[in-house]
Chain A
């Protein structure tokens, strides 16, 4: 559990005492936090396709 000083410091850095920020696009309303999560998912998806898997080349070379 954070002590009151810790809570005050965290509150000063991350001020959550306001309504959520929302992205409006036509009929679509998304909170900024959800937009960030969707962006990270797209990034992870792209990296999962692009990055080589450890040992994949060796296995495909026939030394399974």
Chain B
């Protein structure tokens, strides 16, 4: 086996340029290709590591026990499986489509028309990188679904990305290297923003949990974990002096932000947004380097998100609204955390300036926001009173009180504006979100009015967009403003239906 760590760069290009493949690859060549031969090695690496670790432990503990033989057999089966799946899989790039073919017992052919491809996503994990390989994900929107080439050489991945996303720019391409322009790059000190986002605070727990789970299962399989040993550990923990426990807890509390910075850096290391002929390419990651290409003409807007902590720090997360992009929350990410001016500048370079300032919504909307924030804990509290649970009722009362400022802030964050080319709507407090959408991307308007909204003269206007979530609401506008807003942006659609 090839353990990760041995650089294989020298061998890679030769292997990938197998004889049946023309060296200069035009956009329309028709060669049938296989995945990279080293693929099965990578495919097996994960199992290998786990199995070898288990085998070594088994050897150390119980000699050449049955567990060890099982490990060997499992290893063999895994290798055979990976070799077989490598041998039976081919792909071919045709003029108008890409075909993925698997022939084992049955035969399956997946065809993706090239004009349906919306994004090509190249990722390299650590073992992939040491072997000079990369995984290519092809995203074809809702009609074609997804396909993965796991794995090809990195040169082939770059070529596929270029060719598959480049149908518009086929003609000028070929002579010069494609123009590259760095639009934004993560600065060192931005990694410190990680604890603000909250999500990364929990990652260490998830990692530790899965690690402990794996260790436990492994130990359990090998008979290392017995009832007595677990009990001993338990007694030792209980037996610790209270001061030590408190110290440990405090340590953990201080360690959390540090851990979150580490986790954040792992995922977002050297986050770079580049422009390469007609596509926006976002690259990130330390151990697994991931690069996502977004076709520029499908990029119809951006989303600026933050939470109250990030707002205090002046930090934003920037995402792209791309038509027909699956898993948009992860793939559409343009900046994981950056100061507001930087994020807004990148937004301006990608879709155009963020319109502003936002127009606030009418006062009648304020009461509605507060009521809707207070209602859930209030209702639970009333139920608890009826059921005779004073403690739960008290907790709910506190929550309901805290919900009042939350509702007020939710009202303050509401806003909408258009600058003639792009519109922007904003809502939310704990997870505030401002969306900027090109007028051309709008596919419809939906006005919603509940009985209560009708009494207050309010309406929620949903901007239907064929990208991102599909619709973005401007919550509780005044009724006339909602109609006027839609009529201002698309007069031809709305005017025929206005009251004379």
- Does B associate with A? no
A: residues with CB less than 8 A from B are: none
